[in-house]
Structure 1
Amino acid sequence: VSDRGHAGFVTLAAEDYQLAALGQVVELHNVGQRLFALLRKAPGVTLHCPDRVANVCRTQSHVEVTLESGEMLTGCVLVAADGTHSALATVCGVDWQQEPYEQLAVIANVATSVAHEGRAFERFTQHGPLAMLPMSDGRCSLVWCHPLERREELLSWSDEKFCRELQSAFGWRLGQITHAGKRSAYPLALTRAARPITHRTVLVGNAAQTLHPIAGQGFNLGMRDVMSLAETLTQAQERGEDMGDYGVLCRYQQRRQSDREATIGVTDSLVHLFANRWTPLVV
Structure 2
Amino acid sequence: MAGLCAGYDRRVNSDFDVLIIGGGLVGASLAIALDGAGLGVALAEAVPPRVELQPSYDERNLALAQASVNALRALSVFAADTPLAPIRRIHVSRRGDFGAVRLDAAELGLGDLGAVLPARELGNALLRRLDACHDLQRIAPAQAVALAPRPDGVAVTLRSGDATRDVRARLVVGADGSESFVRTALGIGVQRHDYAQSALVTTVTTEWPLDGLAYERFTDSGPVALLPLADRRAGLVLSVPRDEAARVAALDDDAFIAFVHERFGWRAGRLSRPGRRKPYPLARALAERTTAARSVLVGNAAQTVHPLGAQGFNLGLRDALTLAELLREAASHGADPGDASLLARHVERRAEDRAATTAFSDDLVHLMGNEHLPLRVLRSLGFHALERSTALKRRFVLRGMGFRGDASMLGLRP
Per the normalisation by structure 1, the TM-score is: 0.92
Larger relative contact order (Cα-Cα within 8 Å, sequence gap ≥ 6): 2
Aligned match for 2:332, one of 238, 241, 245: 238
How far is the alpha carbon of 1:7 from its aligned partner? 4.5
**Matched residues in 1 for 2:97 and 2:231: separation?**
32
Q: Do 2:305 and 2:361's aligned partners in 1 also have CA atoms closer than 8 Å?
A: yes
Aligned to 1:163: 257
Deviations 1:175-224 (A, max 9, x none): 11112211122222221111011122101111100111112112221121
Letter matched to residue 67 of structure 1: L
Moved more, 95-104 or 64-73: 64-73
Aligned to 2:302: 208
How far is the alpha carbon of 1:50 from its aligned partner? 4.2
**Matched residues in 1 for 2:250 and 2:314: separation?**
33
How far is the alpha carbon of 1:53 from its aligned partner? 3.2
**Matched residues in 2 for 1:174 and 1:73: separation?**
54
**Matched residues in 2 for 1:18 and 1:45: separation?**
40
1:132 lines up with 2:223 in the alignment: no
Letter matched to residue 129 of structure 1: P
1:62 lines up with 2:156 in the alignment: no
Aligned to 1:122: 216
**Matched residues in 2 for 1:88 and 1:146: separation?**
31
Aligned to 2:241: 147
Aligned match for 2:268, one of 161, 174, 192: 174
Letter matched to residue 2 of structure 1: S
Instruction: Decide whether aligned partners of structure 1 residues 80 and 137 sit closer, same or farther in structure 2, where only a CA change above 3 A counts.
Output: farther
1:217 lines up with 2:308 in the alignment: no
**Matched residues in 2 for 1:202 and 1:260: separation?**
14
Q: Do 1:192 and 1:210's aligned partners in 2 also have CA atoms closer than 8 Å?
A: yes
Letter matched to residue 14 of structure 1: A
**Matched residues in 1 for 2:230 and 2:174: separation?**
31
Report matched runs for 1:241-252 at 5 Å.
Answer: 241-252=335-346
Aligned to 1:258: 352
1:194 lines up with 2:285 in the alignment: no
**Matched residues in 2 for 1:64 and 1:38: separation?**
28
Aligned to 2:374: 280
Deviations 1:244-282 (A, max 9, x none): 122321221122112211111122111111011111221
SS of the residue corresponding to residue 35 of structure 1 reads helix
Letter matched to residue 224 of structure 2: L
Aligned to 2:118: 27
Aligned to 1:39: 130
**Matched residues in 1 for 2:294 and 2:224: separation?**
40
Aligned to 2:103: 12
Q: Do 1:205 and 1:219's aligned partners in 2 also have CA atoms closer than 8 Å?
A: yes
**Matched residues in 2 for 1:282 and 1:127: separation?**
15
How far is the alpha carbon of 1:12 from its aligned partner? 1.2
How far is the alpha carbon of 1:103 from its aligned partner? 2.2
SS of the residue corresponding to residue 101 of structure 1 reads strand
1:95 lines up with 2:154 in the alignment: no
SS of the residue corresponding to residue 320 of structure 2 reads helix
**Matched residues in 2 for 1:182 and 1:274: separation?**
28
Letter matched to residue 38 of structure 1: R
Q: Do 1:27 and 1:135's aligned partners in 2 also have CA atoms closer than 8 Å?
A: no
Moved more, 55-64 or 112-121: 55-64
Aligned to 2:412: none
**Matched residues in 2 for 1:95 and 1:114: separation?**
48
SS of the residue corresponding to residue 117 of structure 1 reads coil
**Matched residues in 2 for 1:183 and 1:168: separation?**
17
SS of the residue corresponding to residue 255 of structure 1 reads helix
**Matched residues in 2 for 1:130 and 1:29: separation?**
21
Structure 1 runs of 4+ off > 4 angstroms? 69-72
Q: Do 1:108 and 1:181's aligned partners in 2 also have CA atoms closer than 8 Å?
A: yes
Moved more, 149-158 or 107-116: 149-158
Letter matched to residue 217 of structure 1: Q
SS of the residue corresponding to residue 98 of structure 1 reads strand
Moved more, 73-82 or 7-16: 7-16
How many positions carry a matched residue from both structures? 283
**Matched residues in 2 for 1:50 and 1:134: separation?**
35
1:76 lines up with 2:167 in the alignment: no
**Matched residues in 1 for 2:147 and 2:112: separation?**
43
Flag structure 2 segments of 5+ consecutive residues without an equivalent. 1-91, 378-414
**Matched residues in 2 for 1:44 and 1:223: separation?**
20
Identity of matched residues, %:
39
Letter matched to residue 346 of structure 2: Y
